[in-house]
Amino acid sequence: DTGVSQNPRHKITKRGQNVTFRCDPISEHNRLYWYRQTLGQGPEFLTYFQNEAQLEKSRLLSDRFSAERPKGSFSTLEIQRTEQGDSAMYLCASSSDREAFFGQGTRLTVV
């Protein structure tokens, strides 16, 4: 499978716990994006990388969120001290000039 891969697909966690998601992009793409989506809304931008450099981070993103792409390949998104409002689908996408593909997403539920 040469598409964008995200793990886990689903995550249920208790409020206050830390969670980490992983994204493996398409190998030829050097751009990697993280988005968050809630019901009835379009994807909301969180951050993106070109190779290992984090180029932009949404100001909507609190200090509890951090993303890394240490070797310019896979990326991780960590949420510390989760809150119920963090419950959403977390989407990763990788892109080239003419295409941008999403992974299947990680659905986070904070209880």
Chain positions contacting other proteins, by CB under 8 A: 31, 33, 35, 40-45, 48, 50, 55-56, 89, 91, 93, 95, 97-105
DSSP 23-61: EE--TT--EEEEEEE-TTS--EEEEEEETTEEEEE-TTS
The smaller minimum CB distance to other proteins, of residues 52 and 89, is found at 89
Taking residue 24's Cβ as centre, other Cβ atoms within 10 Å add up to 18
- Shortest Å, Cβ 64 to other proteins: 21
The smaller minimum CB distance to other proteins, of residues 44 and 52, is found at 44
The smaller minimum CB distance to other proteins, of residues 10 and 15, is found at 10
